[in-house]
C-alpha cells in the first residue's frame, strides 16, 4: 500500500511533464506552408454556336504561387452517398500535416468527354456590366479535376506530383487525392465541358468576363488578393451573330476597365 502511495505522485509528475513537453512541441511546430491560388486572366476567347445557342468559350487556369502545395483529400464512408467530403491537408515545415476539414465536396461526374471525380465550385465564371455587382450570366461548370497540368514557375521545379486522372472510370472509389504543386497550374481549354457562357439575350455594349477561384475562401491560402481576373469586352450583334472585341485584360482584378 505504501508503495502505491509513493508511485501516484511520481506518475502525476510524469504526466504533468509530458503535458508540458507536448505543449512546448505544439508551440514549436513549424510554420504552415500555404498554397496561393493565382487566377490567371481569361484567355483564348472564341464565339461558337451549339444548335441555336451562341457561346463565349474561354481558357481558364489557376496556378499555385504559394509556399506549399494545394492538397485536397476526398473521402466517403458509404458508396450510397454520391459525394465525398473534401478536406485540405496543409504542409508544415518540420511538422506533420494539418488537416482542415470540410473545404468542399467532390462528385463523380459523367460528361460526353470524360467521367471522373470533380471538386465542385473550385472556379466560377460570370459576365456582368462594368461597375455592376450583379452577374447577368453564370457558368454551368460541374467541377474540376485538379492536377499539375503545366509549369507556371520560373527556374527548376520539383517533379510533378499530382498527375492522376481523378479516378477516371472509378465511380466506386471511397477516397481520392487531388492537388496543385508549387510552380504548377491547372488549366482547361475553351468549350471543354462547362468552359463557356451563353450569350443569348444580352444587349450590345460592354461586359466584364470574370474568373474567380476559391470564391467562398474555404480553402486556406497565403493570400486571397489574386483570386480573380477579368477582361473587358465589347459585344455587338450583326445579322443575329455576336461579335466580341477585347478592350482590356486585367490580372488580379475583377473590375477591369480602360484607363
Q: pLDDT tens digits, residue range 97-110?
A: 999 999 999 999 99
pTM of the model: 0.86
pLDDT digits (tens, 9 = 90+) for 174-214: 999 999 999 999 999 999 889 999 999 999 999 999 999 99
- Left if phi > 0, otherwise alpha if psi is -120 to 50, otherwise beta: which for 31? beta
Residue 7 predicted with pLDDT over 60: no
If one compares 177 and 18, the residue with the highest pLDDT of the two is: 177
Query: 86-140: per-residue pLDDT in tens?
Result: 999 999 999 999 999 999 999 999 987 679 999 999 999 999 999 888 999 999 9
Place of cell 470564391: 215
CA atoms lying within 13 Å on the CB side of residue 110: 4
CB 118, CB 144: distance < 8 Å: yes
Amino acid at each position: 500500500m505504501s508503495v502505491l502511495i509513493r508511485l501516484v505522485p511520481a506518475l502525476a509528475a510524469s504526466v504533468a511533464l509530458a503535458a508540458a513537453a507536448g505543449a512546448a512541441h505544439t508551440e514549436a511546430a513549424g510554420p504552415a506552408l500555404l498554397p496561393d491560388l493565382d487566377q490567371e486572366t481569361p484567355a483564348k476567347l472564341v464565339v461558337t454556336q451549339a444548335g441555336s445557342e451562341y457561346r463565349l468559350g474561354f481558357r481558364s487556369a489557376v496556378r499555385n504561387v504559394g509556399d506549399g502545395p494545394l492538397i485536397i483529400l476526398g473521402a466517403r464512408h458509404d458508396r450510397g452517398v454520391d459525394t465525398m467530403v473534401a478536406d485540405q491537408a496543409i504542409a508544415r515545415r518540420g511538422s506533420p500535416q494539418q488537416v482542415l476539414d470540410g473545404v468542399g465536396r467532390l462528385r463523380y461526374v459523367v460528361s460526353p468527354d470524360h467521367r471522373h471525380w470533380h471538386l465542385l465550385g473550385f472556379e466560377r465564371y460570370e459576365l456582368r456590366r462594368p461597375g455592376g455587382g450583379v452577374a447577368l450570366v453564370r457558368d454551368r461548370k460541374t467541377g474540376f479535376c485538379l492536377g499539375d497540368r503545366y509549369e507556371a514557375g520560373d527556374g527548376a521545379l520539383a517533379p510533378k506530383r499530382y498527375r492522376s486522372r481523378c479516378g477516371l472510370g472509378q465511380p466506386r472509389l471511397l477516397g481520392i487525392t487531388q492537388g496543385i504543386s508549387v510552380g504548377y497550374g491547372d488549366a482547361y481549354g475553351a468549350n471543354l465541358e462547362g468552359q463557356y457562357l451563353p450569350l443569348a439575350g444580352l444587349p450590345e455594349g460592354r461586359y466584364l468576363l470574370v474568373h474567380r477561384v476559391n470564391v467562398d475562401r474555404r480553402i486556406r491560402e497565403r493570400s486571397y488578393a489574386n483570386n480573380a481576373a477579368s477582361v473587358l469586352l465589347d459585344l455587338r450583334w450583326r445579322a443575329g451573330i455576336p461579335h466580341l472585341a477585347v478592350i482590356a485584360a486585367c490580372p488580379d482584378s475583377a473590375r477591369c476597365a480602360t484607363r
